[in-house]
Structure 1
Amino acid sequence: MKKRFLFLSVCMALAGSMGAQVKKNVNTDPYPYGNPVIRHMYTADAAPHVMPDGRVWMITSVDHENGGGYSTMHCYHAFSSSDMVNWTDHGEIFHVNDIRPKDAPASDKWAVWAPDFIYKDGKYYLYIPIRIQHGAESSQEKRKVTAYLAVAESNSLTERFKVLTPQIKETRGIDPAVFRDTDGKIYLYWGSHMAAQLKDNMYEFVGKPVKLEVDTDRFMEAIWMNKHDGKYYLSYHTKYGNKIDKNHPDDPNRKPSELAYSVGDSPMGPFKYGGVMNYELGVGVKNGPNLPGYDYVPWRLTQSNHGGIVEYHGQEYLFYHTSALSSWRQDRFQGPGTWTQRSVCIDELNYRKNGSIVPVKQTIEGVAAVKINQPAVVNLSLKQASLADGESASVSNVNLGTGYYYFSAEVSGVTAPLKIEVRTGATDGKLLGTLLVKKDGYVDTSLIDANGKQTIFLKAVGGNVQISACSFFAGNVE
């Protein structure tokens, strides 16, 4: 653990020194390419998810317009898109001053780093890594850093989040990721590959946090979880060397700044190392501007990698960040841009038949616009069904098209907490999602792999219940 924090301290010190040398953003001409996707401000650490309105939403960190390094990351913005190309900025939804105590010492530098968020039971929960640098900036070797996670909640992604708890007990570290499995359980990941199942209140744990087995010694930070074809993919930023020689950027003796992944059969592992998901920034980019005198793009010389993955209507996408926009705004691609003035990029993420990930092809063009030709909602023809524990109701020929991301129902006759499993093909077929029922009324849940023409089975587990008004939704923009 001491070695881990020593490594982070070195990286933070370098980040601060690089941030202090930032050039001014003097070029106001429009950015000429499709990647990055947000071009009016600096954004990083994107957390992308499909939300109940059928749009892809991302909450991002914000790198300061005037530089200053990681200690000046003070707020989050929310963005949304219905086609992965055109993004709407919904403004600032959280600021470090929303959580920093009024009596905090003036010498302490508070920052909020890479976030993640989730929708549950009509509310949105934002997981915030708090990073506090105690004391003066100049005392690099002696300064103390505190890092932990907090949670905020909101009724809408267009409204400001309010702090639910200022510190999640038993968390130490940065980069939270939150994941809901098809059985309805929600997991939180953070720091040096730590994980725990969340309780229903979304800030306490079921049992003690555990350190995951990831089958590599290169794990550094930026953990993310996604599920594909029944397997759990844990991705992360690797440990890396701190300087790239522009004459030998691919020096095999220097550890590269990559996104790698490990694969498991459970959200808590163990995980087996799978390989590289995203090479260093700028590797293999075609059709873009070259650094004068060299055969690669200018931002090839900067490091920092943070991934977020989302599936949207049949295609998975990797969100990451580069300094391409700062390279353009500072000197029209004549230099690499600033490491700590980053901007979100999106490219396709694909898998081989054996389940391994094809390393993402970084592009300057970005992804093609997604076109969706299906209703926002599919209502099941099941008007009402009374289910005893273990019984199922089925509906044939349900057309889920290119994907639906949530399921809802009205329930009654509930006398104790139970589950309603949403399955395809059979009562014990593929599990798409699980409604966690606590009382009579409306209930919903997220889904994974709900697409194509299916026979849907709704199975009661743990109690008796009456169900009606069943719908798949978020299959298009409302």
Structure 2
Amino acid sequence: MNKLTLIFFLSIFCVSVSFSQKKNTNTKPYPYGNPVITHMYTADAAPKVMPDGRLWMVTSVDHENGGGYATMHAIHAFSTDDMVTWIDHGEILGIDDFDVPKNEDWAIWAPDIVYRNGVYYLYFPMRNVLSDGSIDRYVAVAESDSMYKRFKITNPRMTGVEKAGLDPAVFIDDDGIAYLYWNQQLMGVLEANMREIKGNMFKLDIGANNFMEAAWMHKRKGVYYFNYHTKYNNVVSPENPNDPNRLKSNLDYSIGTSPKGPLTYQGTMNFELGSNVVNGPKLKDHNYVPWRLTQSNHGGVVEYHGQEYLFYHTSALSSWRQDEFNGEGTWTQRSVCIDALNYNEDGTIIPVQQTIEGVKKITINQPFSIQLKPKKAFHVEGLKTSKEKIISIKNTSSISFKNIDLGSGYYYFGVKLLKTPSKGKIEIRKDSVNGYLMGTILLDNNNSTLNKGYADTFLREANGIHHIVLVFINENSEQTIISEPHFLAGSPKKIEHQ
């Protein structure tokens, strides 16, 4: 950690402690739509569409009684089927899941989560102040076979992620390769087991020198978007919050043609908390919302049925619960907000309009899954079909299905694997064998034993009416035999009993 970063973290600690003891005495219902969780403090949301078709987020938890970042000891899960009604699924992992010395100062900070082939992988940073005063930081991994179950730690310390192991963010590309990003612009390729970094970590070139924390990668129309929290300095002046000489607590972003960079800096996607919010309460004697004076920014981006959303957090709820909007709230008692994320025609991001209303409720009316019938294929190349099976008999083969209606979006594609090559893949493409790659199922000898022989992959931009082409790539002239190819997660399932 360099001197500037150390000073920054010390300043955060001092300020958070000074504000953290204010009591949450106001019990009136929160009057607005943003933030979306109002019965507890949540921060650092990581949103993902899961195979049940619901939009889930995992969050870190700010303590009800304050105490700053050192009292963050849990990860919570929430889900929605309409972007407005959120279900609390409770704590999925906490400090007691670790066998840690009680005389040390432990905390769990910003997590991320991803699903792959029957397993949900949770990545989270552990921060420990050791008895000698030194700080130990690293990333751990926990897993579950269901979002409705508690997670079990499978790797208590990832090797290769020790250096500033904060704010891990996982990204699976359309070719099936998985990446992990974390602080100091560091990243690495994940092993097939999703628990380790393959080879050495390396630094992502973002085309700017203002990175502080909160890495997040998403992809749209073949372009990679990397957003992050910028370095900032000095407190926000009540009389001049937009002081041009002060480095701002923004979310900036860079774009490129590879998840490994280099990327080109583009500017700001989310300005400081409370910037330009209209229709909201005003801080006494000022023309801005009370939480405009707090600093913190952490963004997660997700697309859900035709609209992209930015998840971030503010101190609006703590301002309400502590002072009924007469004070700025506590910046270490934060709450997740959601607003629409939109783009210009050239693909650049339109800075997010932060609102107190939140996003509009959506209704999804389409089947949960779409089955592809092998006998209904209109073109095959290098393979055979039966009533139920597709048999790939060449190193590269394909099967095409005509005019499949993917509606407002399907988020996963799955198959039953009856025989797999030692190394191969199934590409799911739109319109032609060289058309847009929506996702890739990676194949090897382990597929038959993992997840009862079922394999699936996350999809991007699987919407509208298109010819669907499955491209089989088998190495060493080995066969692939599948059945039950289908799109899924096209609409949200009802909540399971917990």
TM-score by length of 2: 0.92
Are 2:180 and 1:188 equivalent residues in the alignment? yes
Percent of counterpart pairs with the same letter?
53
Task: Indicate conservation of the 8 Å contact 1:261/1:273, yes or no.
Answer: yes
Which of 399, 411, 436 is equivalent to 2:417? 411
The residue aligned with 2:51 is 52
Query: What amino acid maps onto 1:416 in structure 2?
Result: S
Query: Secondary structure of 2:291's match?
Result: helix
Are 2:13 and 1:13 equivalent residues in the alignment? yes
TM-aligned CA deviation for residue 193 of structure 1: 0.8
- The separation in 2 between residues aligned to 1:4 and 1:393, in whole angstroms, is 57
- The separation in 1 between residues aligned to 2:230 and 2:319, in whole angstroms, is 24
- The separation in 2 between residues aligned to 1:301 and 1:372, in whole angstroms, is 38
- The separation in 1 between residues aligned to 2:426 and 2:322, in whole angstroms, is 55
TM-aligned CA deviation for residue 206 of structure 1: 2.0
Query: What amino acid maps onto 1:63 in structure 2?
Result: D
Are 2:201 and 1:221 equivalent residues in the alignment? no
- The separation in 2 between residues aligned to 1:244 and 1:100, in whole angstroms, is 40
The residue aligned with 1:139 is none
- The separation in 1 between residues aligned to 2:462 and 2:60, in whole angstroms, is 30
Task: Indicate conservation of the 8 Å contact 1:11/1:242, yes or no.
Answer: no
Task: Indicate conservation of the 8 Å contact 1:18/1:338, yes or no.
Answer: no
The residue aligned with 1:3 is 3
1:82-161 equivalences in 2 (<5 Å) = 82-101=81-100, 104=101, 106=103, 108-135=104-131, 143-161=133-151
Query: Secondary structure of 2:317's match?
Result: helix
Are 2:443 and 1:437 equivalent residues in the alignment? yes
TM-aligned CA deviation for residue 15 of structure 1: 4.4
The residue aligned with 1:335 is 327
The residue aligned with 1:164 is 154
The residue aligned with 1:474 is 489
Structure 1, 428-437 or 460-469: larger mean CA deviation: 460-469
Assess, with a 3 A threshold, how the Cα gap between structure 1 residues 145 and 19 changes in structure 2: closer, same or farther.
farther
1:451-470 equivalences in 2 (<5 Å) = 451-463=463-475, 464-470=479-485
Assess, with a 3 A threshold, how the Cα gap between structure 1 residues 242 and 132 changes in structure 2: closer, same or farther.
farther
Query: Secondary structure of 2:396's match?
Result: coil
CA offset digits 1:436-456 (Å, max 9, x no partner)? 122343211111110000101
The residue aligned with 1:385 is 390
CA offset digits 1:396-430 (Å, max 9, x no partner)? 11000000000001222324221000011111111
- The separation in 2 between residues aligned to 1:315 and 1:286, in whole angstroms, is 22
- The separation in 2 between residues aligned to 1:243 and 1:204, in whole angstroms, is 39
Which of 446, 449, 454 is equivalent to 2:461? 449
Assess, with a 3 A threshold, how the Cα gap between structure 1 residues 429 and 13 changes in structure 2: closer, same or farther.
same
The residue aligned with 2:346 is 354
TM-aligned CA deviation for residue 477 of structure 1: 1.2
- The separation in 2 between residues aligned to 1:2 and 1:428, in whole angstroms, is 47
**Count of residues in correspondence between the two structures:** 468
Are 2:232 and 1:232 equivalent residues in the alignment? no
- The separation in 2 between residues aligned to 1:4 and 1:122, in whole angstroms, is 43
Assess, with a 3 A threshold, how the Cα gap between structure 1 residues 241 and 5 changes in structure 2: closer, same or farther.
closer
- The separation in 2 between residues aligned to 1:470 and 1:31, in whole angstroms, is 46
- The separation in 1 between residues aligned to 2:108 and 2:87, in whole angstroms, is 22
TM-aligned CA deviation for residue 100 of structure 1: 4.1
The residue aligned with 1:140 is none
Query: Secondary structure of 2:319's match?
Result: helix
Which of 228, 244, 248 is equivalent to 1:256? 248
Structure 1, 384-393 or 82-91: larger mean CA deviation: 384-393
TM-aligned CA deviation for residue 242 of structure 1: 3.3
Task: Indicate conservation of the 8 Å contact 2:314/2:336, yes or no.
Answer: yes
- The separation in 2 between residues aligned to 1:316 and 1:11, in whole angstroms, is 34
TM-aligned CA deviation for residue 72 of structure 1: 0.2
- The separation in 2 between residues aligned to 1:13 and 1:311, in whole angstroms, is 34
Are 2:397 and 1:400 equivalent residues in the alignment? no
TM-aligned CA deviation for residue 5 of structure 1: 4.1
Query: What amino acid maps onto 1:322 in structure 2?
Result: T
- The separation in 2 between residues aligned to 1:221 and 1:343, in whole angstroms, is 18
Q: Which runs of 5+ in 1 are unaligned?
A: 137-142
Structure 1, 238-247 or 29-38: larger mean CA deviation: 238-247
Query: What amino acid maps onto 1:386 in structure 2?
Result: I
The residue aligned with 2:287 is 295
TM-aligned CA deviation for residue 274 of structure 1: 1.0
- The separation in 2 between residues aligned to 1:222 and 1:29, in whole angstroms, is 32
Query: Secondary structure of 1:261's match?
Result: strand
- The separation in 2 between residues aligned to 1:217 and 1:280, in whole angstroms, is 18
Query: Secondary structure of 1:391's match?
Result: strand
Query: What amino acid maps onto 2:2 in structure 1?
Result: K
- The separation in 1 between residues aligned to 2:16 and 2:326, in whole angstroms, is 23
TM-score by length of 1: 0.96
Task: Indicate conservation of the 8 Å contact 2:13/2:69, yes or no.
Answer: no
- The separation in 1 between residues aligned to 2:64 and 2:234, in whole angstroms, is 24
- The separation in 2 between residues aligned to 1:134 and 1:272, in whole angstroms, is 39
- The separation in 2 between residues aligned to 1:355 and 1:120, in whole angstroms, is 29
- The separation in 1 between residues aligned to 2:98 and 2:264, in whole angstroms, is 38
- The separation in 2 between residues aligned to 1:26 and 1:279, in whole angstroms, is 30
CA offset digits 1:5-35 (Å, max 9, x no partner)? 4244324423442344x31101000000000
Task: Indicate conservation of the 8 Å contact 2:218/2:301, yes or no.
Answer: yes
Assess, with a 3 A threshold, how the Cα gap between structure 1 residues 133 and 19 changes in structure 2: closer, same or farther.
farther
1:35-46 equivalences in 2 (<5 Å) = 35-46=34-45
Q: Over aligned residue pairs, what C-alpha RMSD do you find?
A: 1.3
- The separation in 2 between residues aligned to 1:16 and 1:31, in whole angstroms, is 23
Query: What amino acid maps onto 1:367 in structure 2?
Result: V
Q: Which runs of 5+ in 2 are unaligned?
A: 375-387, 494-498
The residue aligned with 2:360 is 368
Task: Indicate conservation of the 8 Å contact 1:285/1:364, yes or no.
Answer: yes
Task: Indicate conservation of the 8 Å contact 1:48/1:319, yes or no.
Answer: yes
